[in-house]
């Protein structure tokens, strides 16, 4: 386990079993400025050189109970105003239990990872499970990333790359606003921030999209993040296979897990925009746009589909689309642990181990911790995995296109992340300030 020391679905890649032409129309060194008062009862005449010279101007929201073990080499007539009740016996070890209620703007997670100076991919890198793909239209996913997040296309077919405001920062949406200036724009490329350059463009024709996918409206999913305007990927659906619905894909990737290789996947999505059909997915899929059978894909799904598996309650749920089935657990039965998640912004996570095991986690992307919704065996017939390594967003593995959702960010890793890393990722997402 890595200890972080820096301060944090009827359709899919599940196949559509629908007959041709019969489509439904449903749509411290603690520097905390604490004036510690030592109530030492010693009568030593030492000159205390208490190493506890805290001058934190942190506004720590952590209410930390930092146990500063200051070793006062007192020969003391302590002028220390430590209320640390040290029982000084000369070289005393005062264990002051500072209950500073500092309000730290650095949003440290419980893992000790400083969420303000790193991105999710830095956390994964430190965990030994590096990002092989990192997509976002809202912010940098590496602390040092200073490139473009996505590209927009104007109606006259001219394009413009949309950058971050600063390295590791949020999107500079004003570049898009100026370029589009009231004209209709679509999102033509979602850039991969990892070194692999696994960029996403609209889905090619094949599977259930006879004419391929189309690009998302660049302004349809307007939000704020940390006080700045941003836009997400607003996917659409249709029951007509000839209609182009929003979906993105890369069938020729680098570094993405294949076969039974392990991976972790997370995404942040709009928690209020979903439907009961298949499939609003993000993750690892087939390379030919077709349903190649059970275990040929492994993606995160968000929605309320009960076409195959389901969670408990009425949904929506974070589930795994593994092809020919969307699963909340080991079978199509609803596991009690995979409960409905009703939040404004949702974090979903899938951990796909090698061998007969996978897990699902979910949380509120605006506050709190991730919760494990399922951790156990894969469904019968789904181990070993036969993953093919394409990346999809907004459709199923076979280009099934009746699910809807809105995507803001997500990553795919090489290897399965630790629970500590997962918690640090969630803390980082919360600190990003979605909807704030």
Contacts of 399 (CB under 8 A, 6+ apart): 203, 206, 207, 208, 209, 213, 247, 249, 289
Spatial contact of 391 and 253, defined as CB atoms under 8 Å apart: yes
- Among residues 34, 35, 32, 36, the alpha carbon closest in space to that of 56 is found at 32
The one catalytic residue in 92, 323, 364, 423 is 323
Spatial contact of 1 and 416, defined as CB atoms under 8 Å apart: no
Strand partners, 372: 361
H/E run at residue 421? helix 419-432
- In degrees rounded to 5, what are phi and psi of residue 71? -100, 95
> Is 166 known to be catalytic?
no
Indicate the burial class of 312 (C-beta count within 10 angstroms; 0-12, 13-18, 19 or more): middle
Q: Is the peptide bond before 279 cis (omega within 30 degrees of 0)?
A: yes
H/E run at residue 372? strand 371-376
- Among residues 59, 67, 143, 64, the alpha carbon closest in space to that of 110 is found at 64
> Is 125 known to be catalytic?
no
Query: Would you put residue 169 in left (φ > 0), alpha (ψ -120 to 50) or beta?
Result: beta
Q: What is the 3-state secondary structure (H, E, C) of 237-290?
A: CCCCCCCCCECEEECCCCCCCCECCCEEEEEEEECCCCCCCCCCEEEEECCCCC
> Residues in the chain, how many?
436
The one catalytic residue in 398, 409, 420, 422 is 398
Which of the residues are catalytic? 323, 398
């Amino acid at each position: 386990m890595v200890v972080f020391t820096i301060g944090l679905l009827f359709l899919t890649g599940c196949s559509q079993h629908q007959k041709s032409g019969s489509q439904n129309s449903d749509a411290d060194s603690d520097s905390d400025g604490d004036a510690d008062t030592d109530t030492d009862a010693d009568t030593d005449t030492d000159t205390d050189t208490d190493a506890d010279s805290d001058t934190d101007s942190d506004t720590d929201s952590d209410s930390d109970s930092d146990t500063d073990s200051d070793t006062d080499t007192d020969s003391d007539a302590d002028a220390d105003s430590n209320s640390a009740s040290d029982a000084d016996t000369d070289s005393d070890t005062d264990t002051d239990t500072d209950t500073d209620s500092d309000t730290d703007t650095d949003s440290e997670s419980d893992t000790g990872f400083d969420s303000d100076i790193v991105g999710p991919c830095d956390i994964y890198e430190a965990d030994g499970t590096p990002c092989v793909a990192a997509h976002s239209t809202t912010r940098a996913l590496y602390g040092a990333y200073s490139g473009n997040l996505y590209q927009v296309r104007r109606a006259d077919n001219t394009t413009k790359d949309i950058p971050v405001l600063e390295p590791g920062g949020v999107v500079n949406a004003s570049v898009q606003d100026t370029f589009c200036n009231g004209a209709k724009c679509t999102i033509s490329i979602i850039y991969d921030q990892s070194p692999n350059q696994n960029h996403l463009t609209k889905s090619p024709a094949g599977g259930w999209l006879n004419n391929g996918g189309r690009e998302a409206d660049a302004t349809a999913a307007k939000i704020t993040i940390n006080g700045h305007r941003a836009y997400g990927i607003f996917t659409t659906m249709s029951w007509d296979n000839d209609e182009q619905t929003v979906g993105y894909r890369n069938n020729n990737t680098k570094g993405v897990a294949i076969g039974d290789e392990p991976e972790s996947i997370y995404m942040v999505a709009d928690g209020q925009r979903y439907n009961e059909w298949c499939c609003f997915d993000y993750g690892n899929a087939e390379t030919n746009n077709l349903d190649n059978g059970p275990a040929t894909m492994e993606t995160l799904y968000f929605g309320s589909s009960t076409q195959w598996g389901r969670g408990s309650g009425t949904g929506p749920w974070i589930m795994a689309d593994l092809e020919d089935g969307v699963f909340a657990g080991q079978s199509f039965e609803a596991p009690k642990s995979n409960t409905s998640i009703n939040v404004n912004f949702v974090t979903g996570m899938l951990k796909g181990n090698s061998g007969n095991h996978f897990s699902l986690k979910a949380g509120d992307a605006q506050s709190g911790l991730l919760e494990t919704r399922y951790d156990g065996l894969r469904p019968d017939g789904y181990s070993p995995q036969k993953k093919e390594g394409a990346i999809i967003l907004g459709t199923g593995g076979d280009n099934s296109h009746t699910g809807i959702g809105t995507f803001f960010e997500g990553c795919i890793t090489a290897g399965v992340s630790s629970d500590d890393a997962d918690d640090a990722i969630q803390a980082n997402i919360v600190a990003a300030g979605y909807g704030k």
